[in-house]
Amino acid sequence: MLKINEANISEKLIKLIGKKKHTRFTVLPVEGINKSYYKNPFRFSEILKISFLFSKRIFLEDHIHLEKSNIFSDIIIVEKNLSEWFKKQIKDKEFIAEIIEAENVFELFIESMKLISSPKRDFSNSETSISKDSLIHKNVQIGNNVHIGPNTVIYPNVVIYDNVYIGSNVTIHSNTVIGADGFGYTNNITKIPQEGGVVIKDFVEIGACSCIDRATIGYTYIGENTKIDNLVQIGHNVKIGKDCRIAGKSGIAGSARIYNNSIIAAMSGVKDGIKIGPNSILAGASMATKNIPPEMTFAGNPARPFNQYFKELAKRS
């Protein structure tokens, strides 16, 4: 099960948010989390939950296309120039968090992440739960705070880092890595601590030599019955819905959303933060640089509607 990272509230945070009854805090995504994956969900009621908003990236659609979150932040610290935009996004939504405007929110986020960052991971298997009905082959490395459900098969040489939740009837093929650090760095190449986890739901299959990165905060999410081919890279905080298919040599950058029953064909790429609508297809060797609406097929680099792409090809031939 995932764990809750927390730390003492810094003086800078106290000055910004005012005096609170809590003395400890943790960092959550703005869109919240589902408490069912956390080892001690009741701990959330005892600590201050803070979110930071410093870019136009918020995923209210997750409640519709994935699963509802049931733990939200107490305070959302918003970059001043995004405040009006954010308030429009949450209008008529059930957001009850206190909203605080600030400057340099990204820097404050980095400082807060350093406070909750974990020591080096030691793969000691502490607080790990593996169903007796699962089959774990030789040379599989399993970290701390890992849950593996029944009837799951993990083939040789798989590495599972800390804070990974794997459901039932999951298949993970050889040499795949689940939960390595996401590729998060500041502009001056300072590493952003990666303190989240990975959730893999029931009946997922993951091919050989694929990588699914841990989230910066919250969790990277793979929905029920989704199938992932060999040699696929899935970045931090990506969320993929149920019944999706991700073909070989594809790469999905951080915080992208691939909603239910969508297909990412071979050798395709999805830019960070991009949304692929439900029942959509990204054709082979294409690059999604803008959101793809539901029930659409896009192709090319940059990807555009399928008919438009082939009309352009015909004109050039």
Give the tokens for residue 37: 């994956």
304-305 sheet: strands from edge to edge: 135-136, 153-154, 171-172, 205-206, 227-228, 245-246, 263-264, 281-282, 297-299, 304-305
Q: Which of 165, 288, 265 is nearest to 223 (CA)?
A: 165
Alpha carbons 182 and 187: distance in angstroms, whole number: 16
The catalytic position among 65, 147, 173, 236 is 236
User: Is 63 among the catalytic positions?
Assistant: no
Per-residue burial over 132-154, b if 16 or more Cβ lie within 10 Å, else e, is: eebebeeebebbbbbbbbeebeb
Residues of 17-52 as b/e, b for ≥16 C-beta within 10 angstroms?
A: beeeeeeebbbbbbbbbbbebbeebeebeebbbbbb
76 has which bridge partners? 51, 99
Given the DSSP bridges, would you call strands 233-234 and 304-305 parallel, antiparallel or unpaired?
A: unpaired
Q: Beta partners for 142? A: 160
**Residues identified as active-site:** 236
